[in-house]
Amino acid sequence: MSSSPRRIVYPGTFDPITNGHLDVVERALQLFDEVVLAIAADSTKKPLFDLEQRKSLAEAALANFKGKVRVTTFRGLLIDYVHSEKSNAILRGLRAVSDFEFEFQMALMNRKLSDTIETIFLMPRDTYTYLSSTIIKEIARLGGDVSAFVPPAVEAALKKKFHEVKP
């Protein structure tokens, strides 16, 4: 049996990280020794927060998991990054059936690119299944209360981004 830690890579844009993401990380730590939260620099999405802001917010949100969760950024193919982390597993969260088709296609393509890497799907608690970063950003933009959906640092960053008093 190998003495190296069982490590899983949890990729995404995390724009911003939500309580649903944190719940998936918690669940993954029941199965793996370490979670590498890997924030994608290359994305077709247009993020609200830049890469360093997303990393900083994720680090603040995951501070309680010190030593078990590492926040990083990456560019290029996810498969190459997973290999560089000496992992053989990718973590993906599934909120609803609608997520499954896209995630399934990605998992199959990743398997085609590297058959040594497995994709693990975990569902968040039912109280988080409706959460998405897009919905959170829209609520915050319209002045709604997002405190139940995101960590405090993210809530503050969203307020600052959308409701800064302009002179």
Q: In a 3-state reduction of DSSP, which class is residue 158?
A: helix
Going by C-alpha positions, the residue among 123, 95, 89, 125 that lies closest to residue 107 is 89
Q: What values do phi and psi take at 95, rounded to 5?
A: -90, -40
Let me know if 43 is a catalytic residue: no
Report the alpha-carbon angle 67-70-73, nearest 5: 165
Beta carbons of 9 and 38 less than 8 angstroms apart? yes
95 in active site: yes
**Which candidate in 68, 70, 83, 95 is catalytic?**
95
Please tell me which residue in 27, 54, 92, 133 is annotated as part of the active site. 133
Of 32, 141, 115, residue with least CA distance to 107: 115
In the annotation, is 45 catalytic?
Answer: yes
Q: Which of 45, 86, 159, 163 is catalytic?
A: 45
Active site residues: 21, 45, 95, 133
